[in-house]
Chain A
Amino acid sequence: AVQLVESGGGLVQPKESLKISCAASGFTFSNAAMYWVRQAPGKGLEWVARIRTKPNNYATYYADSVKGRFTISRDDSKSMVYLQMDNLKTEDTAMYYCTAGGYNWGQGVMVTVSS
């Protein structure tokens, strides 16, 4: 069965950095474009970052709200995807999920940015 397990969340102050991770299993990870999607408290789902596969040169894309501050990466040998978040803002406070095509979801990881 497909499984996605996010980790690494926590409470940080504005302008600080945090790196969250997602461990994937149950599917051919190297063949899948991966996303980070977030959900602010009481709000809907919003895509944050996307990374394509090796044949597509691991191309990365970002929502305008995080461009220049967040970096998505992947390690196909470990079936892991990461999100490095720098210069965090209070509006980045959200539950962060990784997903492939929106089919499968993990439990998410909470990131709270507050002074």
Chain B
Amino acid sequence: DVVLTQTPPTLSATIGQSVSISCRSSQSLLHSNGNTYLHWLLQRPGQSPQLLIYSVSRLESGVPNRFSGSGSGTDFTLKISGVEAEDLGVYYCVQGTHAPLTFGSGTKLEIK
């Protein structure tokens, strides 16, 4: 199975600060069809995961544009430009290029 290494495990940010989370894959996530199935999820406390970014950089409908995704191949980044209080929770990267679905270990974002 593909291993996703996510860093850092925890982040502490003030409101308005910009932060980044890294997700590195054990193999390229470029599918033979030309797409890259690397997504970002947010799990708020007590809630189920929700999709923020899909296919590396596409913003899910309804997600604020302070969230952005970038990367290619094996290295990917989620950036939050101006953290808000509602952004606290655990962020996961997930890949669907190579079955089965695998997940990063998560990054817990705390608000100072």
With A45-B49, A97-B48, A108-B48 already in contact, the answer to whether A103 and B54 are too (CB < 8 A) is: yes
Binary per-residue interface labels of chain A (39-80) against chain B in the complex, 1 for a CB within 8 Å, 0 otherwise:
000001111001000000000010100000000000000000
On chain B, the number of residues with a Cβ less than 8 Å from chain A's Cβ atoms is: 19
- Among A63, A102, A106, point to the contact of B48 (Cβ < 8 A): A106
Main secondary structure of the interface of A (DSSP, over half): loop
User: B106 to chain A: which residues have CB within 8 Å?
Assistant: 44-45
Interface size on A, residues (CB 8 A): 21
- Cα of A63 to Cα of B37 in the assembled complex, Å: 21
Q: Is A99 an interface residue (CB 8 A)?
A: yes
Set of chain A residues within 8 Å of B50, measured between Cβ atoms: 105
Which residues of B71-92 have CB atoms within 8 Å of chain A's CB atoms?
92
**Residues of A that sit less than 8 Å from B by CB:** 33, 35, 37, 44-47, 50, 61, 63, 95, 97, 99, 101-108
Q: List 12 A-B pairs, Cβ < 8 Å.
A: A35-B100, A44-B106, A50-B99, A95-B48, A101-B96, A102-B39, A102-B96, A102-B101, A104-B51, A105-B49, A105-B50, A108-B48
